[in-house]
Amino acid sequence: MALGQARRFGGLAALPQVRPQTGQEAAAWLKSNLDGYYSRPARVPPYRSSAAWALRQMDDRFSILRPDTVVLDLGCFPGGWSEVAVERSEVSSSSSRVIGVDSTRMDPMEYHTFIQGDLAKKATTQAILEALGDTRADVVLSDLSPASTGLKQEDHLNSMQCCLHAAKIMERTLKLGGWFALKLTYGSEIGRFRMYLDSRFETVRAIRPAAVRSSRDMFCICKGFIGRQTIASEAKSKNAYTHEGMDRWNGERWLSSQEMLDEDE
Ligand SMILES: C[S@@+](CC[C@H](N)C(=O)[O-])C[C@H]1O[C@@H](n2cnc3c(N)ncnc32)[C@H](O)[C@@H]1O
């Protein structure tokens, strides 16, 4: 508003407020300010990677990282997520531990245990179990990403493979009731993986933090690990082998394959 116009409407009181109140201007103002909140302010020391801001944002919302916890960070190189985990779980002043794993060697970090290894290999799982000792993780984080090929479906399937590696490690290392936060790339297999997560956790939330620039990346925040029953007890509890027509076999013995052939003749 020009100064002359402001005078006409009654001086300074008629000047618009700094933050626009309505319409597209207000939406643009909110977007730019929220985006700014999760990009690094100039005065804050930089993290090792900008990915750290996505974890900060998720932690602001869900309070995943707390003092006196054990955090396992899968795909930790160059260390942005691990820095946030060390900071927020107050490793320097509590009994917390942060263990990071990556196939790429990472520069050492204070209050951090680094394991170099491919998560597809048994030896890496073994090294993680040894580092955990008698304890189990309270939080398993996975920012695992395969090298990009530029082909959507290929990248999606490679990312799902990373999720399967992370899930396999999570099942062996996470405490009952623990958290699992992992990155996924949008694509055809997301629904199936979500069903798996739903079967293992009390609640699963899919989110895309503002700090994430790639439109294809999303995160699942899984709370309350309920563990995994043995396949035998799962089958028993869900009557997996009962279906229509099965009742007529009750009380009868199973036929051997030779007897079945004889019956067919
Ligand atoms: C996006 S980066 C992680 C960034 C990290 N969270 C940070 O904040 O700095 C993904 C990492 O996953 C790692 N990665 C992918 N597949 C892996 C595998 N099978 N085993 C171990 N690390 C793997 C890559 O080496 C890469 O460093």
Reference 169, options 125, 123, 131, 104; nearest CA is 125
Protein residue closest via CA to atom 7 of ligand 1: 80
Q: Give the CATH number of the domain where residue 61 resides.
A: 3.40.50.150
Residue 75 domain flag? yes
Q: Which domain holds residue 164?
A: 52-227
Q: Average the pLDDT over each of 21-30, 176-185, 239-248 and give the range with the smallest value.
A: 239-248
The predicted structure's pLDDT at residue 5:
44
Residue 247's pLDDT is what? 39
Assess whether pLDDT exceeds 60 at residue 15. Answer: no
Give φ, ψ of 182 to 5 degrees.
-140, 155
- Domain membership of residue 32 (yes or no) is no
| Confidence at residue 3, expressed as pLDDT on a 0 to 100 scale | 39
- In a domain, residue 128? The reply is yes
Residue 101 lies in a domain: yes
Q: How many domains does the chain have?
A: 1
Q: Mind listing the pLDDT tens digit for each residue in 179-222?
A: 999 999 999 999 999 999 999 999 999 999 988 877 789 999 99
Top-confidence residue, 246 or 63: 63
Q: Judge whether residue 226 has pLDDT over 50.
A: yes
pLDDT at 49 over 90: yes
Domain membership flag for residue 147? yes
Q: Is residue 163 part of a domain?
A: yes
In this prediction, residue 13 carries a pLDDT of: 43
Distance 147 CA to ligand 1 centre (A): 9
pLDDT in the model for residue 265:
43
- Residue 161 in domain: yes
Q: Give the pLDDT band (50/70/90) at residue 38.
A: low
Tens digits of per-residue pLDDT, 62-108? 999 999 999 999 999 999 999 999 999 999 999 999 999 999 999 99
CA 195 to centroid of chain Cα atoms: 15
Pocket of ligand 1 (CB under 6 A): 48-49, 51-52, 75-81, 102-104, 118-120, 143-146, 162, 165
Candidates 168, 183, 236, 238; catalytic one: 183
In the reported structure, the alpha carbon of residue 201 is separated from the centroid of ligand 1 by a whole-number distance in angstroms of 24
Which residue out of 50, 144, 163, 213 has the highest number of ligand 1 atoms within 8 Å of its CB and is therefore the one to mutate? 144
Residue 149 lies in a domain: yes
Per-residue confidence (pLDDT) for residue 248, from 0 to 100: 39
The pLDDT of residue 156: 95
Query: Are 141 and 182 within 8 A, CB to CB?
Result: yes
Is 183 annotated as catalytic?
yes
Pocket of ligand 1, candidates 53, 145, 168: which has the most ligand atoms within 8 Å of its Cβ, to mutate? 145
